[in-house]
Structure 1
């Protein structure tokens, strides 16, 4: 794991975040496979953080043993919030949004995360609007383009693109009542509630990124931070699952797709993903991380078309291009902003030295 850690640390932040979105796409596929087998999604979420805890706690104890003395009430409280917003609450809000609306609508709502994160980051003084500067305009414009591309990707179909591999891991089995494919509802009241829950999910994820950034300032231990978040998420997720699911047979795991799904979403989708997000937030901030979210839609569509026999349309191609353009625009603005900051530091230092000499 030491070599793996060094490899991760050697990767540049953009590559880390692209990897995060690839993992996100894999998690969505595993969710679909487990739900197609009839497994309750809330139980998957609970197991997800249990598996992640089993991986991250030993790693934190081995690699960051000195962090134990730095854990205090504030660190535990921030870990609780990270586990809540980025884990149990955020995931369950997303699932419940699927139940009351549809998978397509919920996916579209999640792509509001960059905008919500940007607004909250400005409110918490972690980002500056700086609309008069070129960098500020680029970040705002890129965010709008990315969200617009996600909406085009989701709601506009156009002509069908025939490039399917004829591979379908779902085997056209009938979806169970809790599965993503059969979750849309025609009831207006439920649809409005589902849309509201989807928006709350966006706020929850944005608050996680903000809290993660705050936590990393005084507790810069990435393995320990991830372990604490997974512990909190597993406790919270288990409580939610136990309160909503009374069928104990749902908790049984065998040598089947359920075990494969929870192992993947736990080890890769939580332990590794949360570590990568924490690392990137520590390097570049919450807005930088959130702006990559719409890119996940592109990877979900590609993997879905290759492995789940889902169809791609012209709208997917146009939306994907807009998402990439918006992403590049924000990255360019962020890079320009960072360059300006580094140029100002030597100047200010030199000014102070000259003032001292004059005195």
Structure 2
């Protein structure tokens, strides 16, 4: 019996368990983290490379042909891990939102805000121009109003600053101070602006027929945009207030448990609410606002934040390994 045939009947049967696959991802994170420390680079690099290496090893040993049944088994095993992604992204945006505390905002000078605005405009202009040049130089010479809107969509998507890598690297090196707060604040602003502009560009594309929509989206594009934005901010305010009250009334362990459950429900509920109830909100935007509200109204925020920082280590490690695994 060959290794491939044996793995198909035995090893793949075990790896089809999402729990075992996530365990392998955490082992890859440990190896990648030590390797990154050995060569003096941020651990996030080791986590990403560990995920890539894990996927290559599993496919080399157990997947004789891409797209075959063994490949589909591995893909199916990774799908339930989306809850880990939701939790990691929620915790990351929540932490970044905490930078928007009133005391921190007073230290952010108008010059920093001008730098942020210049950064956003520069990214939009450069990416927009690059996409148009690529369209003109392509063999099909893709031009017209739709090409302008598609270039605009890519340009506003480029505004987003990777919040996960930014926060993780700053925490790894225990970076603190006004510059760190400014970096995190600009990261939050960039992602906030990106979400709003991305939705706007998407609805512009829908209005000219460049993308297909249906139901309520097709009839009330701008109403949906306003409702999604206002709804996400309102949801963040409500959840941030709720967590602040729970943080003051309950023990820390119970607060952390409710916090994790809330973020998993919000992340998993985003597509479910839209599909079944027609209610649209942006989970990342809500998490960002939630962190800002909690930082401004909660008492002794550091108690929960430090616990989440410790709890988040394996979650963030698994998140980055999954990002590399899915590459």
Say which structure, 1 or 2, has more relative contact order (CA 8 Å, 6+ apart). Answer: 1
TM-score band (shorter)? under 0.3
TM-score normalized with structure 1 length: 0.26
